[in-house]
């Protein structure tokens, strides 16, 4: 969505020839990019907001129903707040200029350079949305980070990084504990030392183990949540890992065997490559899209969509276009997603698989 407005009193004939076409270019490009989607749409819950920020509150669940004697009353159960997470909206802005000379030379339609600038302006808005979401996930082992001069809170509601081996659960019913969503092990390679080689068998086994760990994540009462992981997220610069994942998830039969066994992973996964996630080692995230939605996991709050205004600079005669937006990005939970790193890397804060 783009909100467009113009300053009043623009009587320049050259401006009149550019204003409507540029607006149409921006809105048309917005429609195209919205349909294509991206990391923000695929991996985050995108919601509108009308506030300074949004607070996500976690609660314990009701326990099971209890048997009661005939004529007896029901045992009273209560819901208690177990955590809260505040996500603040951040303002982002950008401008571009069409010079007076360019306007004068656009007597027969929009100058090609002006059109390209308008298209790139809209792309930059959507690029900001998708790249800030990629940045937040890619740096989820940290408590904070800086994106386009904005400081981002990358913590889960318990104050720890999104990915940690010491996440806390419970508190509402007095029952508490810790659990991990950050692991290391033989993810993409098997063997020891210099003999370690890329292995589809290693990944297939690791994927099954990670899926079970996702299913066994506990809620605030200490009960197993039971969510099924269905999304694999990969860095954009690890071709061997990407090839292994696509083979394991895209082959109908079991890889490397001669018995025509079925592949238990076939058809169960969506694969998302995050281009700007550039790593020095092999790693992978898995996520449950259902848990992401139900638990308010990866959150993107759209406070003010791209708002475009235009005016003429009286000093130069140049035509200026300004874009402004506000949105918030953060994590309302950690139980929907996991990060696993191949054991070749020495990582801290991760649990052995």
Domain with residue 283: its CATH number is 3.90.1690
- What total number of domains does the chain contain? 1
In a domain, 70, yes or no: no
| Distance from C-alpha of 98 to C-alpha of 281, rounded to nearest angstrom | 44
Range of the domain at 132: 2-7+15-53+85-352
pLDDT tens by residue, the chain, 353 residues: 566 565 554 555 555 556 667 777 777 777 766 667 789 999 999 999 988 888 887 666 666 677 777 777 676 666 666 678 899 999 999 888 877 777 666 544 555 666 777 778 888 888 899 999 999 999 999 999 999 999 999 999 999 999 999 998 876 556 788 999 999 999 998 877 777 788 888 998 999 999 999 999 998 888 899 999 999 999 999 999 999 999 888 877 666 655 556 777 777 899 999 999 999 999 999 999 999 999 999 999 999 888 888 788 888 888 888 888 999 999 999 999 999 998 877 688 889 88
- For residue 218, give every residue at least 6 positions away whose Cβ sits within 8 Å of its Cβ, in sequence order, or none: 169, 170, 177, 179, 224, 225, 335
In a domain, 63, yes or no: no
In a domain, 307, yes or no: yes
For 266, counting Cβ atoms within 10 Å of its Cβ (0-12 exposed, 13-18 middle, 19+ buried), the class is middle
CB atoms within 10 A of CB 95: 12
User: Which contacts (CB < 8 Å, 24+ apart) does range 30-34 have?
Assistant: 30/1, 30/2, 30/122, 30/125, 30/126, 30/306, 33/122, 33/123, 33/126, 34/126
According to the model, what pLDDT value does residue 45 have? 95
For 316, counting Cβ atoms within 10 Å of its Cβ (0-12 exposed, 13-18 middle, 19+ buried), the class is exposed
pTM listed for this prediction: 0.83
3-class DSSP state of 208: helix
Enter the tokens of residue 218: 């506990």
Q: Concatenate the DSSP letters of all residues of 214-264 into one string.
A: HHT-B-TTS-B--PPP-EEEEETT-HHHHHHHHHHHH-SBPTT-SS--B-T
According to the model, what pLDDT value does residue 97 have? 82
In a domain, 68, yes or no: no
Instruction: Find residue 4's DSSP bridge partners.
Output: 308
């Amino acid at each position: 969505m783009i909100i467009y407005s113009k300053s009043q009193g623009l009587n320049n004939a050259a401006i009149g020839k550019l204003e409507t076409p540029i607006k149409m270019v921006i809105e048309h490009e917005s429609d195209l990019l919205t349909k294509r989607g991206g990391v923000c749409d695929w991996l985050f819950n995108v919601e509108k907001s009308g506030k300074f920020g949004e607070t996500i509150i976690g609660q314990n669940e009701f326990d099971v129903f209890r048997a009661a004697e005939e004529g007896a009353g029901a045992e009273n159960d209560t819901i208690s707040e177990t955590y809260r997470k505040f996500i603040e909206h951040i303002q982002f802005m950008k401008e571009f200029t069409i010079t007076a000379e360019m306007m004068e030379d656009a007597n027969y339609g929009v100058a090609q350079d002006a059109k390209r600038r308008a298209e790139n302006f809209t792309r930059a808005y959507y690029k900001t949305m998708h790249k800030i979401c990629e940045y937040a996930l890619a740096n989820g082992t940290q408590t904070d980070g800086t994106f386009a001069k904005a400081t981002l809170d990358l913590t889960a509601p318990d104050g720890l990084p999104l990915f940690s081996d010491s996440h806390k659960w419970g508190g509402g019913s007095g029952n508490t504990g810790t659990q991990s969503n950050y692991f290391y092990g033989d993810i993409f390679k098997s063997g020891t030392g210099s003999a370690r080689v890329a292995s589809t068998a290693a990944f297939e086994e690791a994927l099954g183990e990670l899926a079970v760990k996702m299913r066994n994540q506990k809620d605030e009462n200490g009960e197993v949540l039971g969510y099924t992981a269905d999304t694999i997220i990969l860095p954009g610069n690890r071709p061997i890992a990407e090839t292994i994942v696509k083979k394991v998830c895209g082959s109908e039969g079991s890889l490397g065997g001669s018995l025509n066994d079925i592949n238990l992973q076939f058809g169960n996964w969506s694969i998302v490559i995050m281009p700007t996630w550039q790593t020095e080692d092999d790693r992978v995230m898995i996520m449950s899209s259902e848990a992401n939605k139900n638990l308010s996991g990866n959150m993107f709050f759209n406070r003010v969509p791209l708002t475009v205004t235009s005016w003429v600079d009286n000093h130069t005669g140049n035509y200026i276009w300004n874009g402004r937006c506000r949105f918030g990005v953060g994590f309302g939970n950690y139980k929907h997603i996991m990060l696993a790193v191949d054991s070749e890397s020495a990582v801290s804060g991760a649990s052995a698989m």
